[in-house]
Amino acid sequence: MIKKIPYYILPIMAFFLFVFAKIKTDEKAATFSIQNIAKTYTAGNAISISFTTESKTATADLYLIHSYSKIIINAKNENGKLTFKLPLFFTEKTGSVSWHLLSKNSKASTGTFKIIPNNTTTTKIESYLGPRTILTGKQNFTMMVVVPTDGLDNPKEDNTAVIIKDQFQEDITSEQKNTTNFIAWKNIYSRVKSGKMLVSSQCEQTTTKEIETDIYPSIATNFSITYERNHDFADGNQITKLTTSKITDQFGNLVSDGTLVAFYITTTTNMVLKTYAATINGIAIAQILHPDHGDTYNIKAFVTGMAESQPIKISYQPLIKSFPYTFSKENREITVGPLKSFMNQIVPNGIKVVLEIYHNNQLVETLQLDSYDGLAKFYLSPSFYKEKEYQFLIHTLGITQKTEIKKYENHK
């Protein structure tokens, strides 16, 4: 029995030896050598990278860092060869790719390769034009930025030719620019005339749509104003029209329609009145009502912050020198008028008539009426005006007249 023991032990020992030997082979570091990695690939084409190793079992993973991606690819050991097939989306982007071969027992080998834009695909262009509105004048410009890409949305390589064209009226220019840092760009300068400018670009066979930029007149220059009126009487009814000359920029372009012109009117009593008008075809027209008393207006117009006119002066004649008034109904009713105008015609309705009532030189009350058919009738009710005597001041059309002292008796 004891003799047989070696027969039992030997196979067990042999088994352990075998296991040990197996571990030994596994622990030996497999070395991988590059079989096939090109320096550059074209975007969109299939890429596969292979390594060879003397081991038939050792595997490794490939870690890749790319412009937008970081991925791991696994491969099987096929007879000492590991082939890593890059997924399609990964191969579609350009840039330098760092690869790191990760294997358990050996030092990672690393390297880089490059994926370049695919020029066989249809070129695409993204173009950006800005600012989209500019002013006339030599110093103003808009900038066209063109980013040509291949069909896979990768920016073209540097020094790709891009033609940038612009049209303004009869003037069409075209210039070739080469890309650097993804882009080709050009400053397109404004002209002295306002209008629309169209810009487009072309790279290889691809052209863009036109993009518009508006050239607006630059800031207004000084202008003059004139006035026009039916007569020069201060009748509080007629209208005086203020008209600017054609407002232009320094190159003679009419300012944009709707440019606001402010008219500042200073009266003889230094009151400031304002009115506004927007330009149409470079001209702004404002209207002011005649005053209802003699006055002189100083008028100056402004395009705020940009331009101004020379001042003008407009005088208005008083309509009448004096007016009649009568007392009736025991002096309780005061009729002012008829108010007659410069041709002896009755003044337009609505002329302001003010009656100031005094008692012992003390102002008791001020009444106001608008004229109707040239007349204004005030009635002093005995229940309110109980004093024995009153005196009156009457103002209308800039004229003031003082009545004599009137006596009143209380009628009960």
Partner 1 sequence: MKIINNRNINRLVLIILFFMISTLTLLGMSRILEFLNSGADRSSMLHLELTTEDAYLPKVVWRDLENPAREIEQNTLHKIEKDYLFSWYVKNNALEKNTTKGIEDFYTQNTRKNLYRTIAYNKGHKISIESTTIKHFPELEFYSEDGQQVVFTDKNVVEFQKISQNDQLLTSIQDTATYKVMMLLEDGFWRVRHMVKMDAEPFQKDTVQPTPIYTVSNNQILQNKTSYTIKGINYYPKNSAWDTFGELFNKDTIAKDFDIIKKANLNTIRVFIQYEDFGKAKVKLEKLAKLKVLLDLAEAKKLAVIVTLFDFYSDYTIPSWTLTHRHAEHIVSEFKNHKAILGWDIKNEPNLDFENRNKENVLNWLDHMITVIKENDPNHLITIGWSNSVEATNLANKLDFISYHFYNDMIHLEYETNGLLKNTNKPVVIEEFGVPSYGGVWNFWEGSPKEQAAYHKKMQTYFKKNNYSFMSWTLYDFPHVPDQVAGKWPWQKMRQKKFGFIDEHGNNKPAFQYISNK
> Per-residue x/- mask for partner 1, residues 218 to 237, rule CB under 8 A?
--------------------
Instruction: Give the range of 17-25, 153-161, 346-354, 355-363 binding partner 1 by CB under 8 A.
Output: 153-161
Pair 144, 164: CB distance under 8 Å: yes
Token duo for residue 44: 């969109």
Alpha carbon of residue 84 to chain centroid: 53
Number of residues that bind partner 1 (CB under 8 A): 43
Instruction: Give the range of 96-104, 236-244, 303-311, 399-407 binding partner 1 by CB under 8 A.
Output: 96-104
Among 37, 42, 50, 61, binds partner 1 (CB under 8 A): 61
Q: Which of 78, 84, 73 is nearest to 34 (CA)?
A: 84
Exposure string of 385-410, with b = 16+ CB inside 10 Å and e = fewer, is beeeebbbebbbbbbeeebeebebee
Instruction: Give the range of 87-95, 296-304, 319-327, 366-374 binding partner 1 by CB under 8 A.
Output: 87-95
Pair 137, 163: CB distance under 8 Å: no
Residues in the chain: 412
Q: Is 97 in the site for partner 1 (CB under 8 A)?
A: yes
**Rounded to 5 degrees, what are φ and ψ at 310?**
-75, 155
Number of Cα atoms under 13 Å in the Cβ half of residue 366: 4
Q: How far is the CB of 217 from partner 1 (least distance, A)?
A: 20
Q: Is 65 in the site for partner 1 (CB under 8 A)?
A: yes
Token duo for residue 106: 């050996």
Considering the complex, state which of residue 185 and residue 264 has its C-beta at the smaller distance from partner 1: 185
Q: Is 102 in the site for partner 1 (CB under 8 A)?
A: yes
Among 13, 23, 29, 131, binds partner 1 (CB under 8 A): 131
Pair 106, 30: CB distance under 8 Å: yes
Instruction: Give the range of 180-188, 301-309, 356-364, 391-399 binding partner 1 by CB under 8 A.
Output: 180-188
Token duo for residue 14: 């042999």
Three-state secondary-structure class, residue 408? coil
Q: Is 128 in the site for partner 1 (CB under 8 A)?
A: yes
Number of Cα atoms under 13 Å in the Cβ half of residue 100: 11
Q: Is 143 in the site for partner 1 (CB under 8 A)?
A: yes
Q: Hey, which residues between 186 and 205 contact partner 1 (CB under 8 A)?
A: 187
Q: How far is the CB of 90 from partner 1 (least distance, A)?
A: 8
What radius of gyration do the chain's Cα atoms show? 49
Among 52, 59, 81, 95, binds partner 1 (CB under 8 A): 95
Q: Which of 403, 384, 382 is nearest to 392 (CA)?
A: 403
**Rounded to 5 degrees, what are φ and ψ at 5?**
-55, -45
Q: Is 182 in the site for partner 1 (CB under 8 A)?
A: yes
Pair 135, 116: CB distance under 8 Å: no
Among 91, 123, 136, 154, binds partner 1 (CB under 8 A): 154
Considering the complex, state which of residue 59 and residue 275 has its C-beta at the smaller distance from partner 1: 59
Considering the complex, state which of residue 8 and residue 68 has its C-beta at the smaller distance from partner 1: 68
Q: Hey, which residues between 108 and 127 contact partner 1 (CB under 8 A)?
A: 108, 112
Among 72, 172, 239, 405, binds partner 1 (CB under 8 A): 72
Token duo for residue 40: 């550059």
Binding site for partner 1 (CB under 8 A): 61, 63, 65-72, 74, 87, 89-90, 93-98, 100, 102, 108, 112, 128, 130-132, 141-143, 145, 147, 149, 153-155, 180-183, 185, 187
